Amino acid sequence: MLKHALAAEAETIGFSRMRITRPDAVPELAARLQEFLAAGRHGQMGWMAERTHWRGDPAALWPQAKSVIVLAELYTPDHDPLAVLEQSDRAAISVYAHGKDYHDLVKKRLKRLGRWLLEQVPGEEIKVFVDTAPVMEKPLAQAAGLGWQGKHTNLLSRDLGSWFFLGSIFTTIELPPDEPEAEHCGSCRACLSICPTGAFPAPFQLDARRCISYLTIEHSGPVDPELRPLMGNRIYGCDDCLAACPWNKFAQAGTEMRYRGIVEAPPLAELAGLTDAAFRERFSGSPIKRIGRDRFVRNVLYAIGNSAEPALIAAAEALVEDSDNAVSDAARWAVERLRS
């Protein structure tokens, strides 16, 4: 049967799991998205409020599509991602960004799988998505039975844990859908309790404006001074709510080594001194490159301000006159905080 052969091919290509759903499987999507946007929880991510007729309704995005093939790609760390938070002179960089950009790797695999599928059923069509299209991948993945959206809003599964990316292939081919997964969080609140900024207004809901992942990656300009001390040494993304999850005890190992190796926990002083060219060279192929030198150095300066390391004052002082406003503001904030 085509579905079984497709699952076997997905595994050969390197995906950890494949499941199938229908584009219209989550009728409550539009209302939930609307609630999130109406509360302003997307912050500066204005693109989330655009094309909501597609984002909130995958069936409208491509009316000819009959099935959505959802895929999981593991990047499970081989170390405790929270240990670096104790090393205040070093940068805590989210595990997913230690190596190559997942957008590129997942997209390549999706295209390969899509090509294989079209060879089996010529004349049909596919579209592949990872992250950037107006598609809400997590609810679709839950509908496909790949896992459930935990109280931290990310998808997790009882045997994969929560360290995996999602990608999807929409297709005109009618494939038998899988059963949706039920929620298995129970009374656990570990992810909600560990969040350093209190970014969850309620279980299963995130206010991105308080999330360190948003603040370090998506937010441009100066960060609210009240939130800066809570960011600690996290300079790119945040892993706390994922790392706290007890289901990760059962997480399978990630086998894609390209998700490692570009950067791990570099010294803050070294990162603060990166010029634009040096930044681009250092983070070539990494997702970190997308945020640019200015936002990156701004984040490094918040971490320096939080380090309580007088030895780092000089690195911050050197950036007080930086041509980027957010960088110079962060440098002044860091110097003041280290001196007080």
Using rule CB under 6 A, residue 213 touches ligand SF4: yes
Count Cβ atoms below 10 Å from residue 237 Cβ, excluding itself.
Answer: 20
Q: H/E element holding 5?
A: helix 2-13
Closest CA to 81 of 191, 210, 244, 287: 244
Judged by CB under 6 A, the number of residues near ligand SF4 is 24
Distance, CA of 131 to CA of 16 (rounded, Å): 18
Based on the shown chain and the rule CB under 6 A, indicate whether residue 241 belongs to the binding site for ligand B12.
yes
Strand partners, 18: 71
Give the catalytic positions in this structure: 131
Interface region with ligand B12, contact rule CB under 6 A, candidates 169-177, 200-208, 268-276, 331-339: 200-208
Among 13-21, 121-129, 136-144, 234-242, the segment contacting ligand SF4 (CB under 6 A): 234-242
Closer to ligand B12 by Cβ: residue 76 or 171: 76
Q: Which does 105 bind (CB under 5 to 8 A by kind): ligand B12, ligand SF4, none?
A: none
Say whether 324 counts as a known binding-site residue: no
Q: Which residues neighbour 92 within 8 Å (Cβ) at sequence distance 6 or greater? A: 84, 85, 232, 233, 234, 235, 265, 303
Judged by CB under 6 A, the residue of 58, 77, 196, 237 near ligand B12 is 237
Backbone angles phi, psi at 92, to 5 degrees: -90, 115
Both tokens of 91, joined, read 């940068």
Residue nearest to ligand SF4 (CB): 150
- With binding defined as CB under 6 A, does residue 181 bind ligand B12? no
Residues that bind ligand SF4 (CB under 6 A): 150-152, 156, 185, 188-191, 195-197, 199, 206, 211-213, 238, 240-241, 244-247
